[in-house]
């Protein structure tokens, strides 16, 4: 039996970088057939059909079927894995509340459609921005689906942070481990070197340069998305798709060490329950994550974690006010 994977925003840039990798087996492994469900808005259906033609032309042995729809009820029918990529970008003159409201109009009905039509065992990754709060909206509108099935992506931020540390120390990226990003996928995010390791030693000690960590590393990782937009004239696509593959593959198939995932908060680390914040997780496989407790949180980290989680609380309050989350 093929696993039904729904991808929203399938005709977009990330969709184009993502779908071929899913169909080739990089998401769920070399032994799992996939059935793709592509969700797009009406005007982009033709472009999604074009992508589907190309997927067919790859003759991927693991790709058993492709369906395309503009109806969330159809696209999520029986879905076992969902990657929610399509979102409303911020346009000129749009305030944060307008952006949250516009995205609510996407993620509320998608949450409802997941609730009513998806497989009971579904796993959801939200990529479309503002990813954490979009995940909260979808989760809150899928009352019959356990909250922990909804996650948002901070793996790109983790990967970016790993690459920055490896570059600073002139070591391979595989030397850098357990580098967790806390909080919101926004410039307030906190990449944590106190629990990260380089060659088995505490990364904070190996780097040994607080001015670089506070003044360059943390802001650069937080604003890397903007740096990419400035350079490419478009937001990150292949690296975002790559991180989405990393996130779901590790969640489903398991991974060693600590990873960053934005998950519904439970009170761990004193973070108020009821937001979707990035935390350190362990991934034993089978679509399970465990929040890693007992990590070192010195005042340098606490101050930054409080700030980024506080921003998420404000976003939560704004969408509650808009009636998108109860």
Judge whether 272 and 261 are in contact, CB under 8 Å. Answer: no
Bridge-based pairing of strands 150-152 and 123-126 is parallel
Q: Which entry of ligand LMR, ligand NAD, none binds 24, CB below 5 to 8 A by partner kind? A: none
Among 7, 62, 137, 156, binds ligand NAD (CB under 6 A): 156
In whole angstroms, the minimum distance from the beta carbon of 23 to ligand LMR comes to 23
**Polymer length of the chain:** 326
Q: What is the 3-state secondary structure (H, E, C) of the chain?
A: CCEEEEEECCCCHHHHHHHHHHHCCCCCCCCCCEEEEEECCHHHHHHHHHHHHHHHHCCCCCEEEEEEECCHHHHCCCCCEEEECCCCCCCCCCCHHHHHHHHHHHHHHHHHHHHHHCCCCCEEEECCCCHHHHHHHHHHCCCCCCHHHEEECCHHHHHHHHHHHHHHHCCCHHHEECCEEEECCCCCCEEECCCCEECCEEHHHHHCCHHHHHHHHHHHHHCHHHHHHHHHCCCCCHHHHHHHHHHHHHHHHCEEEEEEEEEECCCHHHCCCCCEEEEEEEEEECCEEEECCCCCCCHHHHHHHHHHHHHHHHHHHHHHHCCCCC
Q: Which of 4, 185, 197, 249 is catalytic?
A: 185
Q: Which residue has the tokens 């903007």?
A: 226
Binding residues among 126-145 for ligand LMR as defined by CB under 6 A? 129
85 binds ligand NAD (CB under 6 A): yes
132 binds ligand NAD (CB under 6 A): no
Judge whether 314 and 186 are in contact, CB under 8 Å. Answer: no
Residue placing its CB nearer to ligand LMR in the complex, 163 or 228: 228
Q: Which entry of ligand LMR, ligand NAD, none binds 193, CB below 5 to 8 A by partner kind? A: none
Binding residues among 208-247 for ligand NAD as defined by CB under 6 A? 235-237, 240
Residue placing its CB nearer to ligand NAD in the complex, 127 or 180: 127
Using alpha carbons, list the distances in angstroms from residue 282 to 78, 103, 252, 253.
Answer: 27, 30, 12, 12
Beta bridge partners of 177: 197
Q: If binding means CB under 6 A, how many residues of this protein chain bind ligand NAD?
A: 27
127 binds ligand NAD (CB under 6 A): yes
The region of 10-18, 20-28, 197-205, 290-298 touching ligand NAD under the rule CB under 6 A is 10-18
Residue placing its CB nearer to ligand NAD in the complex, 87 or 275: 87
73 binds ligand NAD (CB under 6 A): no
Build a one-symbol-per-residue string for 201-240: x at contacts with ligand LMR by CB under 6 A, - elsewhere. ------------------------x--x------xx---x
In whole angstroms, the minimum distance from the beta carbon of 49 to ligand LMR comes to 25
**Which residue, 85, 89, 86, 84, is CA-closest to 99?**
89
Q: Which entry of ligand LMR, ligand NAD, none binds 14, CB below 5 to 8 A by partner kind? A: ligand NAD
Binding residues among 285-314 for ligand NAD as defined by CB under 6 A? none
Judge whether 13 is annotated as a binding position. Answer: yes
185 is catalytic: yes
277 binds ligand NAD (CB under 6 A): no
188 binds ligand NAD (CB under 6 A): no
In whole angstroms, the minimum distance from the beta carbon of 228 to ligand LMR comes to 5
Which residues participate in the annotated binding site?
9-15, 90, 96, 103, 110, 127-129, 160
> What is the contact surface with ligand LMR in residues (CB under 6 A)?
129, 156, 225, 228, 235-236, 240
Kindly list the residues in this chain that would bind ligand NAD in the complex (CB under 6 A): 8-9, 11-15, 39-41, 44, 85-87, 89, 106, 127-129, 131, 153, 156, 185, 235-237, 240
């Amino acid at each position: 039996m093929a696993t039904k994977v729904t991808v929203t925003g399938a005709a977009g840039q990330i969709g184009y970088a993502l779908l071929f990798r899913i169909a080739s087996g990089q998401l769920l492994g070399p032994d799992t057939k996939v059935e793709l469900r592509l969700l797009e808005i009406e005007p982009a259906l033709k472009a999604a059909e074009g992508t589907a033609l190309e997927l067919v032309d790859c003759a991927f042995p693991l790709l058993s079927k492709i369906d395309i729809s503009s109806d969330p009820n159809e696209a999520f029918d029986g879905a076992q894995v969902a990657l929610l990529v399509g979102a409303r970008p911020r346009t000129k003159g749009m305030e944060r509340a307008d952006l949250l409201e516009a995205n609510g109009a996407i993620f509320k009905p998608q949450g409802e459609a997941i609730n009513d039509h998806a497989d009971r065992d579904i796993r959801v990754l939200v990529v479309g921005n503002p990813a954490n709060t979009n995940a909260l909206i979808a989760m809150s509108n899928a009352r019959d689906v356990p909250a922990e099935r909804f996650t948002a992506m901070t793996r790109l931020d983790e990967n970016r942070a790993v690459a920055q540390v490896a570059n600073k120390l002139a070591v391979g990226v595989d030397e850098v481990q357990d580098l967790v990003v806390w909080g919101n996928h926004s410039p307030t995010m906190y990449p944590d070197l106190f629990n990260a390791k380089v060659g088995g030693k505490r990364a904070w000690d190996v780097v040994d340069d607080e001015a670089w960590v506070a003044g360059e590393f943390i802001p650069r990782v937080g604003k890397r998305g903007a740096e990419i937009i400035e350079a490419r004239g478009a937001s990150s696509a292949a690296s975002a798709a790559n991180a989405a593959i990393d996130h779901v593959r590790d969640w489903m198939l398991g991974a060693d060490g600590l990873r960053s995932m934005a998950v519904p908060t439970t009170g761990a680390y004193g973070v108020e329950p009821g937001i979707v914040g990035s935390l350190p997780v362990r991934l034993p496989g089978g679509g399970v994550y465990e929040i890693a407790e007992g990590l070192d949180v010195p005042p340098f980290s606490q101050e930054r974690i409080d700030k980024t989680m506080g921003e998420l609380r404000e976003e939560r309050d704004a969408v509650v006010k808009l009636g998108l989350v109860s």
